[in-house]
Amino acid sequence: FQFGPGRFVANPDSQNEHLLFRQAVAHAIDKDLLVAELTAGSRLISPAVEPLDSYVGLLDQEHAERPWTLYGVDPSRAKQLLSEHCAAIGRDCDANPIRIVLGGSSNQPQIQTMTRLVSAMLTTVGFEVDVKLRDSSIFFGEVFDSGEWDLAVLNLHTGSGLSAIRGIHAAYDPAGGPPHGQNYARWGTEDSAIQGDVVEEFTQLVAAYRSAAEISELRDLAGEADNFLAEEVVSIPLFSVPQVAAVWGDEISGFKHNTSWGFTWNIEEWQRLDS
């Protein structure tokens, strides 16, 4: 979800600031169906994929909570939440359906498939959906950074462990708006539609995580942040795709996996240890 003012360039009818709306979207999405379609014949993504209900549990295996299970696929519940949202804003959504503009990169087959499937899911519960994919050079060169998108299907590359969790927090840090920060969704930033106590609460969580030193404290704070982002439906994690590599450590040095650029990004630095 984009929360900054640029979203109205993409969709003058954007409703992302409303929690009932975000909850309705979350309940409309069938993650199991997405995974099944994308892994069919292993054509688009690895078959070793499962729906994602916690970014903390994914990156730190000792964390067992799964807060996004709050939003299992439930079209009836999605329709009810949408009806409650329409009543709250005083709108006849049967006569004037809420419009969603679903964006992303057109260069990736999996994004094309996902947006098609998600669009159908949202349409089923009563939204009017327009899919507007752009070439990666345009979407990530102009649209994404400026915040001129409504909802987007994105790939997030990350590592593992407690340090990687800090990177997830940075993506929603209210103090980290672009161009200096990484909060491209503009959740809680100065120009965001989201303000108030919820922003202050997450700001304090992020600050506490950065200053914590004990592993147990880091895990507790990460769990709090995971639950917070789920309750507020700041985003909707869909699934994770593992990246695995093996190297003979006693024969080759210099190998470093980069989640954004793959396994051979620094191949010029590799060396045989016996040379």
H or E stretch at 27: helix 19-28
User: What's the CA gap between 141 and 135, in Å, rounded?
Assistant: 9
Over residues 163-177, the mean pLDDT reads 88
Q: What is the 3-state secondary structure (H, E, C) of 219-255?
A: HHHHHHHHHHHHHCCCCCCCEECCCCCCCCCCCEECC
Judge contact between 272 and 249, C-beta under 8 A: no
The mean pLDDT of 51-65, rounded to a whole number, is 80
Parallel, antiparallel or unpaired: strands 252-253 and 99-105: unpaired
Q: Which residue has the tokens 């980290």?
A: 176
59 vs 204, more confident = 204
Dihedral sign, Cα of residue 176, residue 181, residue 186, residue 192: positive
Cis peptide before 237 (omega within 30 of 0): no
For the whole prediction, is pTM greater than 0.95?
no
Burial pattern 106-125, b for ≥16 Cβ within 10 A else e, equals beeebbbbbbebbbebbeeb
pLDDT for 159 equals 75
Q: How far is CA 166 from CA 7, 100, 121, 185, 206, in A?
A: 26, 30, 32, 17, 8
Q: What is the pLDDT of residues 77-109, one digit of tens each?
A: 999 999 999 999 999 999 999 999 999 999 888
SS3 169: helix
